[in-house]
Structure 1
């Protein structure tokens, strides 16, 4: 059985699909994952993936290019040449799998499964339906199950990365990570809150590490400030970030991809969660967790990328004291005392 699994959006989306991909891989001679460029670095970390294809989808990417017929034809030809026996298309609740299913049919893939509320005609062999209140990893696993796949008994169903994929860190283990950046502004806790939290944690005897992408270096430098925090902004790739997160006693992070990466390496999380998407679906999965933020704020379920409410009340209401207390709940007291 040669299986094509498809997840075409961002790194967090790819990570939460990991357990379902492992289930499909368990019943396949080989599994190829078709991902988008925003999710590729995460896809490279997943267990169960034998081969990786990357393609930017104009019906999934949040900043899509115009549809290029030649590009679509090239993808169809590539898939056709690989002679897959089945394809399973994973999407979020607001995305349609049907354009991708059509591509799979045109590539001659004889069996296709997906979650779809829309009538699929002859595009799907399994049209799975599921309620809206499942965490995303369980939603994806339910599709795998509908397609006849299940996890081995030894697999706990949590997010995971491949053994050996994450390099060891030289930071030791006695530190707390603050990751202030987010993929969209509406999910960001004010930078001043992170800076004050870094100061408070250092005062309490914690060692603080601030992480971020290359484009977030100004933000991470501001958060680290003069607190003594270690600023790693722009200094790790995704695998290196996973190593840093894996060694931490706790991670403070918004609803963004690195939150799911922290869950994949088993680190407790203080989640600064803006309710623009449902917490039930998108909170970090399978690890000790404290969620902060007003989940009934006016922005609830809007999927807004920029805050539609003056003052950003869902997260501005969270104080550094709240975050420090949550870190203490998850990690206990600092292992070193202030000088």
Structure 2
């Protein structure tokens, strides 16, 4: 490994071309790159969805949006656009690039792009021998030999060239104006933001990770009956039909904010919530980043995406009865209530 050369790299490109949650799970590794050399500039090359997270990730100095033709979400475009993109990357004169992938992805298309752009240091996990496409090749042992948490996978990658960080938490810095906007929304809905309330995020970008909508309605009704805690249903505009269906099934037991929150406000909502319940999607990783306890309805196919360094209860969403989800939420609410009580008891008078 070219540790000495990496230590000299002043401008480093990080690549993660996936969704919000995938980008968030790379932030500890990005922090390690950033903090391993004073004055280092870190740029993030990511998807349109990943770009939305950039204002909330303090370790990232610059953001580059690219619809990479080897990614599923990329639309059709003329190959000349990719040639022009490579030229634009070459013009930035990066010293090094770290290519972050899951074990089901190949780093080779991104490696070729960076090779053609003239970036001298290129590191990635790769199952095949990349020859000269990577200057630092980390053989990919997953999933045949082991399966690591996604965060640990990326941390191990950058540690191999001497990049480490003292703090390993996910990054998402909630902005004060988003907190104030969210508090105002809660008050308008009759919810005291300083008392306990639940946030539910029912959708996921991957259908196999979705908990059944009828089960969600059962969960909402039962939590409302057992706790009386206010419940908010959130999600983006594309998720509104599913969330409307859930809302119809649970009656007036939940307040509907789906499609009404931008990413900053969603992050603020999750930070203010006592507990969130979510499918295995970006909101789970937002909760991990801001420290909110989470009930994660995780797909059996993705154990490497469970909540990172946050209080959580993980239930596999394949056949999990609503009663188990409710029990998990009530357990986390009880712990949250005890923490709130201890904080009040230790709060200085006056």
User: With structure 1 as the length reference, what TM-score do the two structures score?
Assistant: 0.86
Aligned to 1:245: 270
Q: CA deviation at 1:147?
A: 2.4
Aligned to 2:282: 257
Q: CA deviation at 1:20?
A: 0.4
1:92 has 2:102 as partner:
yes
Aligned to 1:116: 126
Aligned to 2:293: 268
Aligned to 1:53: 64
Aligned to 2:334: 332
User: With structure 2 as the length reference, what TM-score do the two structures score?
Assistant: 0.83
The 5-angstrom pairing of residues 152-301 of structure 1 reads: 153=166, 155=167, 157-162=168-173, 164=175, 167-168=178-179, 169-170=182-183, 171=186, 172-173=193-194, 174-203=196-225, 204-225=227-248, 226-277=251-302, 279=303, 281-293=304-316
Q: CA deviation at 1:276?
A: 2.5
Q: Which has the larger radius of gyration?
A: 2
CA pair 227-320 structure 1, distance change in 2 beyond 3 A: farther
Residues 127, 140 of structure 2: 8 Å contact kept: no
Q: CA deviation at 1:223?
A: 2.6
Aligned to 2:41: 30
- Cα distance in structure 1, aligned partners of 2:156 and 2:320: 35
- Which consecutive unaligned segments of at least 5 residues does structure 2 have? 1-9, 187-192, 338-350
**Deviation readout 1:245-294 (Å, 9 max, x if unpaired):** 111111111111221112111111111112123x1x1112111111112x
Match of 1:48, SS state, is coil
Match of 1:39, SS state, is helix
Aligned to 2:341: none
Q: How many residues align?
A: 308
Q: CA deviation at 1:228?
A: 3.4
Aligned to 1:298: none
Residues 174, 268 of structure 2: 8 Å contact kept: no
Question: Which one has the bigger helix percentage?
Answer: 2
1:62 has 2:72 as partner:
yes
CA pair 165-136 structure 1, distance change in 2 beyond 3 A: farther
Q: CA deviation at 1:163?
A: 5.6
- Cα distance in structure 1, aligned partners of 2:240 and 2:299: 23
Q: CA deviation at 1:320?
A: 2.0
- Cα distance in structure 1, aligned partners of 2:177 and 2:35: 22
Q: From 96, 112, 120, give the equivalent of 1:102.
A: 112
Q: CA deviation at 1:334?
A: 9.1
